[in-house]
A and B are shown apart, each in its own frame.
Chain A
Amino acid sequence: MTTAAWATMAAVCGFVWGGALTLLVIAVRKEGRKREPKPAPRRA
């Protein structure tokens, strides 16, 4: 494989797979935060 091929592979795979993984992590954390029970309101 030439240097250009390695560079293309790193750029394309890094962008596509890296992007997908980052988005998944963001989405899972967002879902997790939504499911956390909200604190009950304090009574006066």
Chain B
Amino acid sequence: MLLAMLSMAVGTGNIWRFPRIAATNGGGSFLVPWVIFLIAWSVPLLLCEFAMGKATRRNPVGAFAELIGPRFAWMGAWVALCATLIMFYYGVVAGWCVRYFVAAVSGELPGADPGALWSSYAGSGWAVLTLVVSLALALWVVARGVRGIERAVLFMMPVLIGLVVVLAVRAVTLPGAERGLAFLFTPDLSALGNSRIWLEALTQNAWDTGAGWGLALTYATYMRAREDTTINAFILGFGNNSVSLLAGIMVLCTVFSIRPDAAGEIVGAGNTGLTFVWVPQLFAEMPGGRLFMAMFFLALFFAALTSLISMIELAARTLIDRGMSRGRALGAVAILALIFGIPSALSTSVLDNQDAVWGVGLMLSGLFFGVAVLRYGVDRFRREHVNSPGSDFTIGRWWNVAMVLVVVEALVLLVWWFSQTLSAEGFVASLDPIRSWSLGTLLLQWAILLAVCLGFNRWLGRTRPAGDRPEAA
């Protein structure tokens, strides 16, 4: 169980997403709210998700309907669909790992120009091909069973964690690496008045730990009734953030060592491939670098694949619980993943847009979990479900306060960000729905998803008999 939890601690969210989000949002200024949200957002939500999954043994839609009534099934649908919409572009990132593994094996990497492969590959037809490969592999595993991949992951994940530790140590010993550390850890307290930094910090922490995705909930539906989840929720949160921090040090120290004037280049838009561009350069500084680079991208692909499998399972499980056969559900998910994944494969701007919209959408998912628990009775939920029989540790009343805080944080942050964006950019410019990162594009896409969830609420709220639930292992 512990090893499985550790395996969940690493993914592309930590290695691909964290370094670029930390770099874009001011490094040290970003880390302060990011650490706060580990305790004030991710850990309480993970405890909530595990408890909800074990208590209801249903997918997010059924879990919300059972816990607080069928009228609120739309909240669970939002959680499931938000994770599914992330899955559509996550397949593209998994495909990038395939391409970089092939490049490492064939000797294309590291090239003389760090960004040459990235420029020619990202957004091309090859990215669509690697998307198809990663999706096909993930679907094949989901359809055939996960036993084989489980064994591979149990070997590959420790390899990836070990490589990230070794690479981070090598990166900080590169000449000029202290500039990267200074960039990552120098706090600018005045930047803490910027709502966007807090929003990105919360979103990234949710991305790192998987809090609010509904994945921990789905995972918990298969757990034994007496299996402890409290310590695992903490390990998941702290373990994920540990790996993210290592990845940030690894990437930024390498960038600043090779290109001391990189600050202007990596801050702001256009840094989507930051990790993919710079990590190969770090391997070039190591003995046996090509072999380790191939192992790194293979392990990163396995990490992405396991997350992709969980997301596909979540989407398929939701359809199966609505009465669809497993084969049809997987077919529908495959077709949708391909249709909605291709635009992100062909354009990094589209991928950035989707990453922003559904990344911040995770904040609404967390808000809905918080609302559900408050409606059920936060102290009652803690006594009945969080501190269930078999728990090794008793969660105290601090969790009640933390869940109230989750709701307050999401609401305050949304209102603060809306008002600050509207006053800084102006009403018309901030509501532009075409830009990859704007209030307009977020509100428009959220409104469409909310309309779909609310439109189908009556159908979603029809719960199926308890006999259909997965049995506890």
Q: Contact residues of A with B, CB < 8 Å?
A: 1-2, 4-6, 8-9, 12-13, 15-17, 19-20, 23-24, 26-28, 30-31
Counting contact residues on chain B (CB < 8 A from A), the size range is 20 to 34
- Tell me if A5 and B238 are in contact (CB < 8 A): no
Q: Which residues of A have CB within 8 Å of B242?
A: 16-17, 20
| CA–CA, A16 and B32, complex, Å | 12
From known contacts A16-B35, A16-B238, A23-B231, infer whether A31 and B2 are also in contact, taking CB-CB under 8 Å. yes
Which of B2, B238, B245 has a CB less than 8 Å from the CB of A12? B245
Which residues of A are found within 8 Å of B1, using beta-carbon distances?
A: 31
CA distance in complex: A6, B184 (Å): 11
Per CB-CB distance, the 7 closest pairs between chain A and chain B, nearest first, are A20-B238, A9-B185, A5-B186, A20-B242, A19-B238, A5-B185, A8-B185
Q: Mark B383-401, 1 if CB is under 8 A from A, else 0.
A: 0000000001000000000
Residues of A within 8 A of B178 (CB): 1
A33 CA to B182 CA in the complex, in Å?
43
Select from chain B the residue with minimum beta-carbon distance to A9: B185
B2 touches A23 (CB 8 A): no
Cβ B181 vs Cβ A8 within 8 A: no
CB distance from B458 to the nearest CB of A (A): 43
B406 within 8 A of A: no
Which A residues are CB-close (under 8 A) to B245?
A: 12-13, 16-17
A34 CB, min distance to chain B CBs, angstroms: 9
Verify A5–B28 contact, CB threshold 8 A.
yes
Residues of B within 8 A of A30 (CB): 231, 392
Q: Please, how many angstroms separate the alpha-carbon atoms of A4 and B189 in the complex?
A: 11
**Shortest Cβ gap from A20 to chain B (Å):** 4
Let me know if B440 is at the binding interface, CB within 8 A.
no
Restricting to B270-303, which residues have a CB under 8 Å from any CB of A? none
Q: How far is the CB of B251 from chain A (nearest CB, A)?
A: 16
Tell me if B158 is interfacial: C-beta within 8 Å of chain A.
no
Q: A17-B245, A20-B235, A31-B2 given as contacts; is B35 within 8 A of A5 (CB)? A: no
* Shortest distance from the beta carbon of A4 to any chain B beta carbon, whole Å: 6
- Chain B, 208-264, CB within 8 A of any chain A CB: 231-232, 234-235, 238-239, 241-242, 245
A26 to B35, CA, bound (A): 21
B235–A12 touching, CB < 8 Å: no
What is the minimal beta-carbon distance from B224 to any residue of chain A, in angstroms?
13
User: Is B187 located at the chain interface by the 8 A CB criterion?
Assistant: yes
Q: How far is A5 from B182 in the complex, measured between Cα atoms in Å?
A: 6
Give the nearest-CB partner of A26 in chain B: B231
Q: Does B31 contact A (CB under 8 A)?
A: yes
Q: A1-B182, A5-B182, A5-B185 in contact; A16/B241 too (CB < 8 A)?
A: yes
Contact: B185 with A24, CB < 8 Å? no
Are B187's CB and A1's CB within 8 A?
no
CB distance from B168 to the nearest CB of A (A): 11
Complex CA gap A30/B231 in Å reads 10
A1 to B185 alpha-carbon distance, docked (Å): 9
A1–chain B nearest beta-carbon distance, Å: 5
B18 to chain A, nearest CB (A): 12
Which of chain B's residues have a CB closer than 8 A to the CB of A27? 2, 231-232, 235
Q: Measured between alpha carbons, how far is A40 from B324 in the docked complex, in Å?
A: 51
Which residues of B have CB within 8 Å of A5? 28, 181-182, 185-187
- In the bound complex, how far is the Cα of B272 from the Cα of A11, in angstroms? 28
> Are A8 and B231 interface neighbours, CB within 8 A?
no
Which residues of B sit under 8 angstroms from A24, Cβ to Cβ? 2, 235, 239
| Nearest-neighbor residue (CB-CB) of A12 within chain B | B31
**A-side contacts of B305, CB under 8 Å:** none
- Interface assignment of B38: CB less than 8 Å from any CB of chain A: yes
A33 to B242, CA, bound (A): 26
> Quick check: B2 and A28 within 8 Å, CB to CB?
yes
Shortest B25–chain A CB gap in Å is: 14
**In whole angstroms, how far apart are the Cα atoms of A20 and B43 in the complex?**
13
Whether the Cβ atoms of A23 and B28 lie closer than 8 Å is no
Closest B residue to A31 by beta carbon equals B2
CA gap between A20 and B6 in the complex, in Å: 11
Given contacts A1-B181, A16-B35, contact A8 B238 (CB under 8 A): no
Checking B31, B181, B187, B234 against A23 with a beta-carbon cut-off of 8 angstroms, the contacting residue is B234
What separation, in Å, do the CA atoms of A15 and B242 have in the docked complex? 9
Q: What CA separation (Å) do A30 and B230 show in the bound complex?
A: 12
Q: Chain B residue with minimal CB distance to A28?
A: B2
